[in-house]
Amino acid sequence: MDLFVLASLESNLWIVLSLFYMVWIFGWAKKNLGSAKLAVLFAVIVVYLTFFQFQFLVWVPVAIFLFAVFGKGILEKVDAFK
């Protein structure tokens, strides 16, 4: 593959990942904060800090997402909180 194509794919991946994070954080913040405007502000700040200031933190929400999707069932089977 051409180097330009790989750079374009990586750029598109970051855009899609950042939009996914923004929607996910917005949904969580709207539920917990109660205000859509405040939730948008919170989501924009978190995504900006994550993707532009501290890029190594991109993998923390991935781990949290995987735990939220797959970890609940595992913890219920193990009875870790009882």
| Tens digits of residue pLDDT in 21-71 | 889 899 999 999 888 999 999 999 988 888 888 877 777 777 877 787 887
Query: What local confidence, expressed as pLDDT, does residue 42 receive?
Result: 92
User: How is residue 65 written in tokens?
Assistant: 């997402």
The type of residue at 78 is V
d(CA 64, CA 75): 14
Which of 71, 51, 43, 68 lies closest to 10 in space, CA to CA? Answer: 51
Domain of residue 40: give its range: 3-78
Could you tell me the pLDDT band of residue 3, with boundaries at 50, 70 and 90? low
Query: What local confidence, expressed as pLDDT, does residue 55 receive?
Result: 76
> Hey, how many other C-beta atoms are within 10 angstroms of the C-beta on 43?
20
Query: What local confidence, expressed as pLDDT, does residue 12 receive?
Result: 79
CA angle 64, 44, 8 (to 5 degrees): 80
Split into its structural domains, the chain has a count of: 1
* The model's pTM: 0.62
